[in-house]
């Protein structure tokens, strides 16, 4: 049985993934490609923003930090999406990509008011539309993360159940009896006292 188990576990891990309908690697790869393409559209828009000049118009200095953070988060999101594309079965990478996407959305949305008020309302609207265009990709990524987490939980339950079964089998086995002690050599005649 211990030799069959390693052969059965990979099969047990793939069956729940197929039964539950987690996206195939090529499907999520297409979603990530689209997500990256849409995200890259933010870079030239962010590059034309001038939050340092907004301060002369009375804007808070926090906009400059938000602008830098937004640019950084775009780069982080692109890196995370690329890593997930290479290893789509890694839950940690899927979560990082989703969180990075949410961070980009948050940073860009916090900049929009400043862009509209201190630079150009049309550019603010453009930022909103580019972020909104990625919403379908975000929703697909969120569903993928949810499905992948369910699969990982099922895999853990299978492994845990098998470990418990093996533990139970081992505890029901009788303890090994100690080998009988070697007979003692006959005692030599003891000298009389």
- Whether 180 is covered by a domain: the verdict is no
- Whether 156 is covered by a domain: the verdict is yes
Overall number of domains in the chain: 1
CATH classification at residue 63: 1.20.120
Judge whether residue 1 has pLDDT over 50. no
DSSP string computed for the chain: -TTTHHHHHHHHHHHHHHHHTPPPHHHHHHHHHHHHHHHHTHHHHHHT--HHHHGGGT--THHHHHHHHHHHHHHHHHHHHHHHHH-TT-HHHHHHHHHHHHHHHHHHHHHHHHHHHHT-HHHHHHHHHHHHHTHHHHHHHHHHHHHHHHHHHHHHHHHHHHHHHHHHHHHHSPPPPPPPPPPPPPPPPPPP-
Mean pLDDT estimate for the chain: 85
- Whether 30 is covered by a domain: the verdict is yes
Residue 120 is part of which domain span?
26-172
- Whether 192 is covered by a domain: the verdict is no
- Whether 15 is covered by a domain: the verdict is no
- Whether 117 is covered by a domain: the verdict is yes
For the stretch 83-130, pLDDT in tens is: 999 999 999 999 999 999 999 999 999 999 999 999 999 999 999 999
- Whether 191 is covered by a domain: the verdict is no
For the stretch 122-160, pLDDT in tens is: 999 999 999 999 999 999 999 999 999 999 888 888 888
- Whether 16 is covered by a domain: the verdict is no
- pLDDT, position 171: 79
What is the mean predicted confidence (pLDDT) over 14-23?
A: 48
């Amino acid at each position: 049985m211990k030799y069959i188990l390693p052969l059965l576990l990979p099969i047990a891990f793939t069956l729940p993934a197929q039964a539950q309908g987690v996206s195939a690697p090529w499907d999520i790869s297409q979603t990530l490609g689209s997500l990256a393409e849409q995200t890259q559209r933010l870079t030239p828009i962010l590059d034309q923003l001038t939050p340092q000049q907004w301060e002369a118009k009375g804007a808070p200095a926090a906009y400059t930090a938000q602008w830098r953070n937004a640019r950084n988060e775009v780069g982080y999101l692109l890196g995370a999406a690329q890593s997930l594309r290479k290893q789509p079965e890694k839950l940690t990478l899927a979560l990082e990509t989703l969180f990075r996407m949410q961070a980009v959305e948050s940073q860009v949305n916090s900049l929009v008011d400043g862009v509209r008020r201190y630079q150009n309302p049309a550019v603010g609207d453009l930022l909103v539309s580019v972020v909104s265009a990625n919403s379908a990709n975000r929703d697909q990524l969120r569903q993928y993360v949810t499905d992948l987490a369910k699969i990982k939980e099922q895999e853990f339950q299978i492994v845990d159940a098998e470990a418990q079964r093996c533990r139970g089998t081992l505890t029901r086995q009788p303890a090994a009896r100690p080998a009988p002690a070697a007979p003692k050599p006959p005692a030599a005649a003891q000298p009389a006292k």
